[in-house]
Amino acid sequence: MRIDNITLSFGNKIVLKNINLEIKPWEFIFFIGYSGSWKTSLIRSLIWDFKPSSGDIILDNNLSLYHSLTEESLLNYRRGIGVIFQDYKLLESKKVYENVAFAMEVCGYSDEIIRKKVPEALEKVWLLIKKEKFIYELSWGEKQRVAIARALVHDPQIIIWDEPTWNLDPETAKEIMDIFLDINSDWKTVIMATHDENIVNRLKKRVVAFENKEVLSDVQNWTYILK
């Protein structure tokens, strides 16, 4: 996809302006920036959750996200993106299996497909053994893995996560990043917004830094450069 000269605004306040980025299939990319640099707002624009005041998202089929898609094609696009929210948005009163299955039930998948796909997704995040545990019984790291499984269960081509390691200890954060390296090696695009310089410096992927409402830098095989 291509972020084509996007400007994002809240009312009369411009928060990001003239953003141009190309995100190629199967890339692993970090968005970094100080708090208030509006990285999350840009991520929201990628999933049809924050309409730009100008510019557009040009998809790989050359259709524009905000001006060309029909209701059906927009639904298909959104099904092709797995989003992991910072607060996970898990259903605490339901079990691990039920949380992941629910993501498929609301999209109308058959019981047969759900029974096949949910264990596959849980296996990828090493949680199949805990499928009958309630969410409130899990550690923070395990909850994150449930959220990852829920994002993966549709077999999306793009995975987006806002602040993946904000409340994890370093060892658990490393485990989560190892999962995402496996996901990326499975021909999926990974986009992460983060303040965690440890994971950025360890992985040395493409790093896009935001400052003063604009792209400060965009470098491959880079480290955390904000001071």
- What DSSP string describes 118-161? HHHHHHHTT-GGGTTSBGGGS-HHHHHHHHHHHHHTT--SEEEE
**How many residues are there in the chain?**
227
Domain boundaries of the chain, sorted by first residue: 1-80+156-227, 90-155
Which H helix or E strand runs over 22? strand 13-22
Q: Would you identify the CATH topology of the domain 1-80+156-227?
A: Rossmann fold (3.40.50)
Beta bridge partners of 189: 158
Q: What is the mean pLDDT of residues 188-210?
A: 92
Residues 6+ apart with CB under 8 A from 203: 28, 30, 177, 181
Burial 74-89 (b: 16+ CB within 10 A, else e): eeebbeebbbbeeebe
Q: 79-129: per-residue pLDDT in tens?
A: 889 988 777 789 888 999 999 999 888 878 899 999 999 999 999 999 999
pLDDT surpasses 70 at 166: no
Averaged pLDDT of the chain = 89
Q: What is the pTM of this model?
A: 0.89
Q: pLDDT category, 7, cuts 50, 70, 90?
A: very high
Q: What pLDDT, on the 0 to 100 scale, is given for residue 103? A: 87
